Structure 1
Amino acid sequence: MAILVTGATANIGRKVVDHLLARGATDIRALTVDPRKAALPAGVEVVEGSLRRPDTLAPAFADVKRMYLAPMPDTAAEALALARAAGVRQVVDLSGEPESWWGSVGMAVEASGLAWTHLWPADFMENTLIWSHQINATGVVREPRPDGATAPIAMDDIASVAATALLTEAYIGRSCALAGPEILTRTDLVGQLADALGRDIAFRRSSREETVTALAPTMGDTAPWYVDNVLYGFDPRPADLPTTSVPDITGRPATTFARWAADNAERFVGV
């Protein structure tokens, strides 16, 4: 019986495929919109389809027992109904707490009647790439809350947890809150990025309007939503974040932000 990875060419889904292979999985099916551009490893079965279009999913679900579900709130319930009818029994979903932006995905999973594991990640380390334009253009990061803190997690670590959960029944019925190994403020993040890039980067407290303007070149029309719903939603020093969640589940250390920044420094250059 195959393991299906939806969104298999997206940021996290692609890494889930790699981690399944690294753990010895051999019957992996990857769902992607354009198989010709998928560039997935040899031995991975590539199937065309999209969670946005449930009518394309039947071939992907055939002979599948377990699946990784990428977050797609608008069509999650319909896709899950099709999955259950096809014989899928277990789903590992990327979602969030019920009251969060992605919470409806997890609720749809539970309503489907499938065995489930929820992955509820903290802020992605990759989200700092939204600063790339202003770092290059001005050497300054503008945001409203310098002391806003979280424990950011690398997408690769989320994928590693997903692969672990797909290959066992140990996490069925669990909501896994995932975070990185350190609680860091926004100014901490900027400082570690400066070290990784080998240059001075200042943090400047800014108004809502100034922040939206600074983020618009990388975020476009989503900048106002991000400022209002994410940046103003940070709680200072959240002591209850599960900073050992990744090693507890995968058995390997979580990626530090300093390590991630050093490995991804080139992504901030020349944008």
Structure 2
Amino acid sequence: MRILVTGATGNIGRGLVHQLVEAGQEVRAMTRRPQAARLPAAVDVRYGDFERPDTWSGVLDGVERVYLFPHIYDVTTPGGHFVDQAVRAGARRFVVHSAAAAGFTGEEPADQSLTYLKEHLAFERQAHREVEQWVEATGAEWTHLRPGLLAVNALDWAESIRTERVVREPYPTSGYPWVHEADIAEVAVAALLTDEHVGNAYTLTGPAKVTHAEQVQAIAAAIDDAIRFEELTPQQARTHWVGNGYPADYVDWMLESRVDSIDDSGSVPPTNTFQQITGRAPRSFAQWARDHRADFR
């Protein structure tokens, strides 16, 4: 059985490829930079680009199951959508990397004053749900994985931690149940290789809310060195992020996402999905920090 992993060199895709290889599967990896992929020798690494339909046939040939990375899936050809072409090439099962927002009701966040965040979540919900529905419409088997906020977002702090041993953020008590990318990959393996998860949509999070201040403490413990948390006012954070190249509208919802989760985990409460599927608790943020200590040293 040949399994295609799209987004194969990303944080989740790379781990998924390794887990599938360890499980003895025949893996094909789709990437825009095959020469820099650094994947196991057993993997069939091929050039493919969602924005270049002329590259799809060479990637999809002989593929039976697909891990579908969340990209711009509105690209079509006279022959149809990437998903349609995959089905015509022989794909019979898709595991869709979606997002928690795809399962939202449209009422999130609870605080209706958070208009930028609400608009962002509505866009996320529509974009990811459209991909899910496209896959469902093919008649192929499907499982939707809907991760919440990813622990790898903390890599945004890597440079300032490496060079200054400092993190600059507003709202130190805000935070979410950050999900470890290895947990997502592990559930994806189960959905690709077994029949137990066909037709299900799973929201995946970490085990509990971890505040930004607690994240910094966990990273400090992982690298065995002190890291200073410098609390910014909202205006200071806006100036800091815009100065680092973030668009102003992106900064608007970034600030509101912090406000959303000050008192609790906001729009993304913890789930026990990973434990239900695997029988084990989700990996903690402290574990994620230990797994990524090299990024911060």
TM-score range (shorter-chain normalised) is 0.7 to 0.9
Q: Cα offset for 1:241? A: 2.8
Q: Which residue of 2 aligns with 1:248?
A: 276
CA contact (8 A) 1:70 1:93 kept: yes
Q: Which residue of 2 aligns with 1:238?
A: 265
Residues 143/68 of structure 1: CA separation in 2 closer, same or farther (3 Å cut): same
Pairs aligned (count): 266
Of 103-112 and 170-179, the range deviating more from structure 2? 103-112
CA distance in 1, matches of 2:94, 2:17: 15
Q: Cα offset for 1:137? A: 5.0
Residues 243/145 of structure 1: CA separation in 2 closer, same or farther (3 Å cut): same
CA contact (8 A) 1:95 1:102 kept: no
CA contact (8 A) 1:146 1:185 kept: yes
Pick the aligned partner of 2:127 from 104, 124, 127: 104
Residues 208/133 of structure 1: CA separation in 2 closer, same or farther (3 Å cut): farther
Residues 73/103 of structure 1: CA separation in 2 closer, same or farther (3 Å cut): farther
CA distance in 2, matches of 1:59, 1:252: 38
Q: What TM-score do you get using the length of structure 1 for normalisation? A: 0.85
CA distance in 1, matches of 2:230, 2:163: 14
Q: Deviations over 1:165-203 (max 9, x none)?
A: 111222222221111122211121122222223333333
- Do residues 141 (structure 1) and 144 (structure 2) align? no
Q: Cα offset for 1:91? A: 0.9
CA distance in 2, matches of 1:186, 1:216: 20
Q: Cα offset for 1:243? A: 4.1
Q: Which runs of 5+ in 1 are unaligned?
A: none
CA distance in 1, matches of 2:160, 2:65: 42
Residues 92/210 of structure 1: CA separation in 2 closer, same or farther (3 Å cut): same
Matched position secondary structure for 1:267: helix
CA distance in 2, matches of 1:231, 1:121: 21
CA distance in 2, matches of 1:3, 1:256: 29
Of 85-94 and 38-47, the range deviating more from structure 2? 38-47
CA distance in 2, matches of 1:159, 1:225: 31
Residues 5/171 of structure 1: CA separation in 2 closer, same or farther (3 Å cut): same
Q: Which residue of 1 aligns with 2:17?
A: 17
Corresponding letter in the other structure for 2:91: V
Identity of aligned residues (%): 35
- Do residues 259 (structure 1) and 258 (structure 2) align? no
CA distance in 2, matches of 1:34, 1:188: 36
CA contact (8 A) 2:151 2:181 kept: yes
Matched position secondary structure for 2:145: strand
- Do residues 87 (structure 1) and 87 (structure 2) align? no
Q: Which residue of 2 aligns with 1:221?
A: 245
Q: Deviations over 1:226-262 (max 9, x none)?
A: 5422342242323873443223223444321112212
Corresponding letter in the other structure for 1:6: T
Q: What TM-score do you get using the length of structure 2 for normalisation? A: 0.79
Residues 136/32 of structure 1: CA separation in 2 closer, same or farther (3 Å cut): closer
CA distance in 2, matches of 1:261, 1:223: 28
Q: Cα offset for 1:152? A: 0.7
Task: Show the 5 A alignment for 1:1-271.
Answer: 1-25=1-25, 27-75=26-74, 78-96=81-99, 97-98=101-102, 99=122, 101=124, 103-112=126-135, 113=137, 114-215=140-241, 220-222=244-246, 224-233=248-257, 234-235=260-261, 236-238=263-265, 241-269=269-297
Q: Deviations over 1:147-176 (max 9, x none)?
A: 222111111221111111111222222221
